Structure 1
Amino acid sequence: MGLFSFSKKSQQSKLNWIHITTVEELKQAIAETDNVTGLFFKHSTRCNISSMALSRFESSWEQDDKCELYFIDLIAHRDVSNAISELTDVDHQSPQVIVVKNRREIFNASHNGISSSEIKNSI
């Protein structure tokens, strides 16, 4: 794991992440975007760039009742990572944010392009 690794056990985030660990949970989360926007953060626990992007996102994101935050550990749950790429038709990147509303991707960014303000503007 990297210097800034993130896991359920060592979570020190101020954000209320919902961890997606199965494809079924992913499909349910995407279905729920009919009611609330979903932000899916794909994170590699083996990548320092991913850890820095996550840390930067967490420090700048203000919790929003209009947006649920979903966390996908793509090392532990590669099947979920692959499924979100297929379901949203967004090519895989890591780290990556995919924002879904009404079951459709409305925004995506990866690496240093992950910006809380740009995400908020897309919502």
Structure 2
Amino acid sequence: MGIFENIFGKTSNSSENKEHEESKIKWIPLTSIQQIKEIKNLSKTNLVGIFKHSTRCVISRTVLDRFQQVFPENNSIKMYYLDLLNYRDVSNEIEVAFQVLHQSPQFLLIKEENPILHASHYDITQINFQKIIK
């Protein structure tokens, strides 16, 4: 089963469901190109994060796990999750829309329709959200 299923609780395995329940992040599935316009509009008033994840990559899985551990609770960042293997066309459009070369795993933080931060691989786990969220 992929991480996308784990995150959204579509498995019956109790340990996988427990992982979902313990996540501090309220993930919004990013599954269509049309949502990129939604993200841009939302970013005019909110910080919006996009986490691009390859469900078959051990590094991506490790980074996602660590990211979920360090992501601060009680913040207003709207978080989108993109399963790269199932929605590669959406990832390609993100690259064009935000002018950020595709990486995996990758995190983008969007404000006022533009990326104010982007990181890939283990650099994602080093993001200082406390400094960003002020």
Pick the TM interval, shorter chain: 0.7 to 0.9
Question: Is residue 118 from structure 1 mapped to residue 120 from structure 2 by the alignment?
Answer: no
Q: Distance in 2 between matches of 1:34 and 1:94?
A: 26
- Asked if 2 retains the 8 angstrom alpha-carbon contact of 1:22 and 1:80, the reply is yes
Unaligned runs of 5+ in 2: 12-16
1:14 and 2:19 matched:
no
Name the % identity.
Answer: 35
**Aligned residue among 71, 86, 97 for 2:81:** 71
* TM, length-normalised to structure 1: 0.88
Pair 1:118–1:33, CA change in 2 (3 A): same
Q: In the alignment, does 2:70 pair up with 1:60?
A: yes
TM-score, normalised with respect to structure 2: 0.81
4+ residue segments displaced more than 4 Å = none
Which among 80, 85, 90 is matched to residue 100 of structure 2?
A: 90
Structure 1: unaligned runs, 5 residues or longer: none
Larger % of helix: which? 2
Equivalenced residues, count? 120
Cα RMSD between the aligned structures?
1.7
Structure whose alpha-carbon radius of gyration is higher: 2
